[in-house]
């Protein structure tokens, strides 16, 4: 798409390449889309879901064709990074079709995936061939009993096999994501970093966010800050702060004797909203303008009302930038939480 005569080029856009760009009312450029392709999952992590979850009826999900259509429209409007997530994205039938189609878009510089790893032995090679550049794999514990405790139903071996499958398939940018919970797994930071170092992986530690009502614990009781983890790790390693970015909110540290980076995603202790560059699409087609707020636009309605014409969809996306809030208001001490669970939001 050219900027010339383009109705979206001003005032919401800025010219970075030949496409217009999406800019919100605080001047933040939105170049990153996360797509939750399903809210379903084969695990039930205690910080993400309650034990009995109601999932969206399949008939209400965007079809794979609709997901690709919305994604392509975002790319035409200047988005150059897309992460596929969920729920567990690799449990959605025929999801490889989405990866293959998006992998062919020249203007998409970075197509990435967040997964729990359980299905990677089946799909890693095809994901690599489709052009996925990086994979984040969630791994909160290396102890089988704890892994089961945290995921409720998971088997550690499957996720470890998935990590190996990603490396064997040729991915050289694999990152571990670990949510650290006080009294549940907070003492495993060093073991997880050792695991990452042995395999040449990056690792990010994530502070638990108050998204969705859960029944396993009170989030205020399990809060373990990034600063605590950093202090634990510094007893073992010399960690050197860097200014490196991978396009996300993580702050990275390096070690002199390893290529692995250690990152921290700290919504509570280091708010990252000022540099927010992203929006999220739920599996039902709701465009979420902020991880921690309810502002949204129903793109499924727009897509279905205009099956043969993308102009209304482009307009809706451009206008949605005006709704993007300044930031989240996460507060572990109140009982007010965002009712949407992370599997719906698309972490
Ligand atoms: N199922 C995939 C996985 O687990 O990687 C992708 C979806 S999951 C929602 C994406 C990421 O969100 C995971 O790294 C998970 O640990 C994280 N996550 C889920 N609930 C969270 C919460 N309440 N606070 C912080 N991170 C959370
Ligand atoms: Fe599933 Fe990922 Fe949520 Fe765990 S964090 S329940 S793997 S969606």
Q: What is the CA radius of gyration of the chain?
A: 20
Q: What does DSSP assign to residue 253?
A: E
Nearest to 110, CA basis, from 33, 206, 30:
33
Nearest CA, atom 25, ligand 1: 208
CATH code where residue 155 lies: 3.20.20.70
For residue 344, give the nearest of 113, 39, 58, 115 by alpha carbon.
39
pLDDT number for residue 247: 67
Mutate to test the pocket of ligand 1, among 46, 179, 225 (most ligand atoms within 8 A of CB): 179
| Alpha-carbon gap, residue 48 to 299, rounded angstroms | 25
| Domains in the chain, number | 1
- Does residue 197 lie within any of the structural domains? yes
**What gap in Å lies between CA 168 and CA 334, rounded to an integer?**
45
Is 11 within a domain?
A: no
Is 198 a domain residue? yes
Task: Please report the pLDDT score of residue 250 as a whole number.
Answer: 84
Ligand 2 centroid, distance to 332 Cα (angstroms): 20
Containing structural domain, residue 268: 19-345
**Residue 73 covered by a domain:** yes
Answer whether residue 9 is part of any domain: no
Residue nearest to atom 8 of ligand 1 (CA): 347
Residues having CB closer than 6 A to ligand 2 are 41, 43-45, 48-49, 86-88, 116, 138, 342-343
Distance CA 180, CA 185 (A): 6
Find the residues whose C-beta lies inside 6 A of ligand 1: 41, 47-48, 85-86, 88, 114-116, 138, 177, 179, 206, 208-209, 211, 342-343, 347
Q: Is residue 1, in this structure, part of any structural domain at all? A: no
Confirm whether 310 is domain-assigned: yes
- Compute the average pLDDT of residues 131-157: 98
Indicate the range of 9-18, 74-83, 209-218 predicted with least confidence: 9-18
Write b or e for each residue in 8-45: b if 16 or more Cβ atoms lie within 10 A of its Cβ, otherwise e: bbeebbeeeeebbbbbbeeebbbbbbbbbbbbbbebbb
Mean pLDDT of 2-16: 37
Query: Could you tell me the pTM of the whole model?
Result: 0.91
Does 146 map to a domain?
yes
CA dist 90 and 84 (Å) reads 9
Q: What is the mean pLDDT of the chain?
A: 89
């Amino acid at each position: 798409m050219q900027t010339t005569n383009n109705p979206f080029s001003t005032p919401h856009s800025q010219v970075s390449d030949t496409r217009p760009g999406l800019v919100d009312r605080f001047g933040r450029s939105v170049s990153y889309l996360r797509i939750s392709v399903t809210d379903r999952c084969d695990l039930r992590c205690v910080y993400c879901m309650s034990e009995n979850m109601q999932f969206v009826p399949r008939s209400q999900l965007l079809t794979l064709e609709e997901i690709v259509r919305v994604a392509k429209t975002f790319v035409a409007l200047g988005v150059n990074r897309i992460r596929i997530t969920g729920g567990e994205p690799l449990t959605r039938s025929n999801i490889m079709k989405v990866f293959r189609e998006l992998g062919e878009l020249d203007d998409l510089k970075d197509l990435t995936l967040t997964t729990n790893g359980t299905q990677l032995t089946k799909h890693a090679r095809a994901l690599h061939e489709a052009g996925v550049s990086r994979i984040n794999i969630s791994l909160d514990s290396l102890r089988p009993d704890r892994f089961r405790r945290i995921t409720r139903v998971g088997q550690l071996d499957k996720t470890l096999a998935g990590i190996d499958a990603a490396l064997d398939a040729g991915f050289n940018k694999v990152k571990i994501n670990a949510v650290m919970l006080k009294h549940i797994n907070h003492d495993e930071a060093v073991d997880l970093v050792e695991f990452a170092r042995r395999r040449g992986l990056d690792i990010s530690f994530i502070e638990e966010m108050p998204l969705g009502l859960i029944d396993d614990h009170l989030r205020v009781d399990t809060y373990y800050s990034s600063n605590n983890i950093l202090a634990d790790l510094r007893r073992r390693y010399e960690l050197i702060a860097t200014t490196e970015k991978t396009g996300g909110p993580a702050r990275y540290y390096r070690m002199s004797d390893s290529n692995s980076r250690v990152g921290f995603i700290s919504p509570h202790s280091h708010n990252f909203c000022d540099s927010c560059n992203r929006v999220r699409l739920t599996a039902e087609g709701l465009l979420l303008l902020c991880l921690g707020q309810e502002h949204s636009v129903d793109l499924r309605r727009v897509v279905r009302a205009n099956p043969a014409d993308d102009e209304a969809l482009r307009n809706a996306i451009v206008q949605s930038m005006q709704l993007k809030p300044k930031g989240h208001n996460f507060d572990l001490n109140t009982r007010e939480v965002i009712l949407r669970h992370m599997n719906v939001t698309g972490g």
